[in-house]
Amino acid sequence: MHVIASFEHSIYLELAITALEEAGIPKEHIYAVSLQGRPHRPKMFDTIHRSDGVSLFDAGTALATAFTVIGSTYGFILKGGAILWGLIGAAVGFIIGVIIDIVHKKKKKGNLPSRNKITEVIVLVACEQEETKQIQGVFWEHHAFGVAICD
């Protein structure tokens, strides 16, 4: 049997491994692997194959619509006509909306994974079936993110 747990890289991980050793689990049966962090920063623009669910064009299309209505309305009064001022309003509104989304996304970096964030550590323990509940209890007591038991 194998018991697998994920931990934050902290003192609780060390305490859990020490508690397992004190419970009689040999060091040769305990494996701890630190996951590597993201090698590069997330990309700002989505592609057709990769998307993070955050769109930069939502505010742009909304503001383009609003500015089109305003531009075409005042275009009846201004020189050039409603169609020209509607197109100018659409372009200006879209550019302003995209700039707002980019600034907002840069300020909201906290939700994106960063290079400075400490990664998780996966701990795998090879044991007998009778020991699984005890090992699982040790992991939960030491603040594991998740625990799984595999045959």
pLDDT in tens, 75-121: 898 898 999 999 999 999 999 999 998 888 777 765 554 445 566 89
pLDDT in tens, 32-73: 998 887 666 666 666 666 666 667 778 889 999 999 999 999
Phi, psi torsion values for 10, nearest 5 degrees: -150, -175
